[in-house]
A and B are shown apart, each in its own frame.
Chain A
Amino acid sequence: MANGVWIVAEQRDGVLRKISFEIASAARKLADELGQEVCAVLCGSGIEGIAGQLGKYGVDKVFVADDPALEPYTTDAHAAAVAKIVKEKDPAILLLGASTQGRDLSARLVGKLATGMGTDCVDAKLVDGKLLLKRPMYAGKCFGEVMISSFPQMGTLRPNVFPAVENQKAGEAVKFDPALDAGKLRTKVLEVQKDASGKVDLTEANIIVSGGRGMKGPENYVIIEELAAVLGATVGASRAAVDAGWRPQTDQVGQTGKIVSPNLYIACGISGAIQHLAGMSSSKVIVAINKDAEAPIFARADYGIVDDLFKVVPELAKACKELLA
């Protein structure tokens, strides 16, 4: 019978990503309640040495597939490796991060394992020993509680929602042979262009400063960037700003952009169209700066300033800089 709470750990360039510790911690909590083990699958090349780090966050055992064909990540290779060990060991629960890689891999695994999954979950608990996942739908306009009647019960967890909790366990590395079939590796990464700015992605950011139509033009984002620099924040934008060509598409927050949940979201010159609100409503603290007191964004904001953002934002940057000095 299916047993154990499993995660797929995510590494890039030989470094475990923060989401791996978040899902490990969430898995530990579920496993303790079930009285079962937490196992991780870790795939890559030359990565056996980092497996032990997962032990710090509650992982008992790490199944490691170390193969040059697993680096860099491709769907075909990683899905084949993970599916092989999961089919062999038959876990009850399988969790991944809702990162771009985790979303891609997990969906392919649903196909290989012929099971069900909840994507981008914000809560995972047990009801009568069965996994109950809570996840935003319609970009957060409502929530759905999902139960899965097949095994493994799969879920991807939204980054930055589940706290990474230190809880030292063995983290014992167990190598397995992914038995990859070269003829079934049908995609190839030809080039990796790293974002030179080195900024944290919106989906993983602790703080986001976003600008909307009220910014009036691309040149004015310099004040947003200054505030973001002071706070160590990532810059976001509304659909209006992206569609106007002021900001790149990767900056868009909302139902047709990124769905984010930072600790702090500062909306500057964003009126709060429903599709934008949907994408950022799960932020822990929301600040709105807008000269229109009637803007819908104020109904969602924890703190608001009704004034000209071109006067407020530079002053806010100054005030924060002084406080943080």
Chain B
Amino acid sequence: MRHEKEENVNIIACVKQVPDTEAQIRVKADGSGIEEGGIKWVMNPYDEYGVEEALRLKEKNGGEVTVVSLGPARVMETIRTALAMGADKGIHIQDAALDGADAYTTASALAAAIKELNPDIIFCGQRAIDDDQGQVGAILADLLDIPQVSMVTKLEYADGAVKVIRAIEGAQLLIEAKLPCVITAQKGLNEPRYASLPGIMKAKKKPVDVKDAAALGLNPSVNAKVVKFTPPPARAAGKIVCGDDPAAKAKELARLLREEAKII
């Protein structure tokens, strides 16, 4: 892959379409999945940070942003959203054989689509808020044999490398990564822009390449399978501490936590 060139950064932003955070998730009666009716689909919020960072990098250094997504026909809407924000072109990996793809298969498909583009930097969200797996970015990096830094909240690009901040439990790390690399975006990295009206108009004319598994030379298989979906366990009705005096109620609550719940 090329990384000798300092200007015109070749940037990829991977995006996934997910149910909005306000969506109620209902499990199908047979436990085979979730009911998709009535769900509002949006770009995964963590991927939005990735797209925004990709655009900022391009605006500062010159270059091109390609947005890549995998999923059914409805995913085109999310690709168009990224294009409307300012990405230059899109790749839509669409194939029924990839429905229910696990993280490894998804990353394999992305890797196959991205490899020939010789990117300098690839952005992914740190996790998708539907599956909550947080695996694809790292697997993609491994398949492309490039480094990754995950959960990045700050990024500086210079001299064929990036310096990034990664937050871990109780500390922040300043990490330098050689290019090309995969960065997974965490909240705090930036404030994503909204698509402007002219942006939305322009997005309609930007090229999106639709590819299926065969075009990418893939032979999809699934290793990790969700065999059953279940609703969260019901919680027993809670106890409201009644009375007029806040101090008395607070005292009673403390007693309950100590004596009944045995938690403090």
Partner-B contacts on A (CB < 8 A):
72, 74-76, 79, 99-101, 103-104, 106-108, 110-112, 114-120, 132, 135-150, 186-195, 198-201, 203-204, 207, 231, 249-250, 252, 255-257, 259, 263-264, 273-275, 281-282, 284-288, 298-308, 311-313, 315-316, 318-320, 322-324
Q: Quick check: B226 and A281 within 8 Å, CB to CB? A: no
Interface of A, secondary structure class, is mixed
Given A114-B223, A116-B223, A142-B232, 11 further pairs, Cβ under 8 A: A107-B134, A138-B129, A143-B231, A195-B171, A200-B170, A204-B169, A231-B264, A298-B238, A304-B240, A305-B241, A311-B246
Q: Which residues of B contact A189 (CB under 8 A)?
A: 173-175
Q: What's the minimum C-beta distance from B109 to chain A, rounded to whole angstroms? A: 13
1/0 per residue B158-179: CB within 8 Å of A? 0000010011111111111110
Which among B25, B163, B172, B255 is the interface contact of A141 at CB below 8 angstroms?
A: B25
A99 to B241, CA, bound (A): 36
Partner-A contacts on B (CB < 8 A):
19, 21-25, 27, 34, 45-46, 102-104, 107, 127, 129-143, 146-151, 153, 163, 166-178, 181, 187-188, 222-232, 235-236, 238-241, 246-247, 249-251, 253-258, 261, 263-264
Instruction: Give the top 10 A-B pairs by smallest Cβ distance, nearest first.
Output: A116-B224, A111-B142, A116-B223, A107-B138, A315-B250, A319-B254, A201-B169, A311-B246, A141-B25, A186-B147
Interface of B, secondary structure class, is mixed
A298 to B242, CA, bound (A): 14
Q: Quick check: A107 and B251 within 8 Å, CB to CB? A: no
Q: Quick check: B147 and A319 within 8 Å, CB to CB? A: no
Q: Which residues of A contact B241 (CB under 8 A)?
A: 303-305
Q: Quick check: B177 and A186 within 8 Å, CB to CB? A: yes
**Residue among B107, B132, B258 facing the most chain A CB atoms (10 A cut-off):** B132
A132 to B228, CA, bound (A): 10
Give 21 CB contacts A-B under 8 Å.
Answer: A75-B147, A107-B137, A107-B138, A117-B103, A136-B132, A137-B25, A142-B27, A142-B231, A144-B228, A145-B229, A147-B225, A148-B223, A200-B170, A201-B170, A207-B264, A256-B21, A285-B263, A286-B238, A287-B257, A303-B239, A315-B251
Q: Quick check: A138 and B130 within 8 Å, CB to CB? A: yes
Q: Quick check: A306 and B240 within 8 Å, CB to CB? A: yes
Q: Quick check: B22 and A275 within 8 Å, CB to CB? A: yes
Q: Quick check: B129 and A76 within 8 Å, CB to CB? A: no
**Residue among B46, B178, B227, B238 facing the most chain A CB atoms (10 A cut-off):** B238
Name which residue of chain A comes closest to B244, CB basis: A307
Q: Quick check: B263 and A264 within 8 Å, CB to CB? A: yes
A322 to B23, CA, bound (A): 43
A207 to B238, CA, bound (A): 19
Q: Quick check: A111 and B104 within 8 Å, CB to CB? A: yes
Q: Which residues of B contact A256 (CB under 8 A)?
A: 21, 45-46, 129, 187
A115 to B238, CA, bound (A): 42
Name which residue of chain B comes closest to A155, CB basis: B224
Q: Which residues of B contact A259 (CB under 8 A)?
A: 132
A51 to B257, CA, bound (A): 38
Q: Which residues of A contact B142 (CB under 8 A)?
A: 79, 108, 111-112
Q: Which residues of A contact B258 (CB under 8 A)?
A: 323
Q: Which residues of B contact A315 (CB under 8 A)?
A: 246-247, 249-251
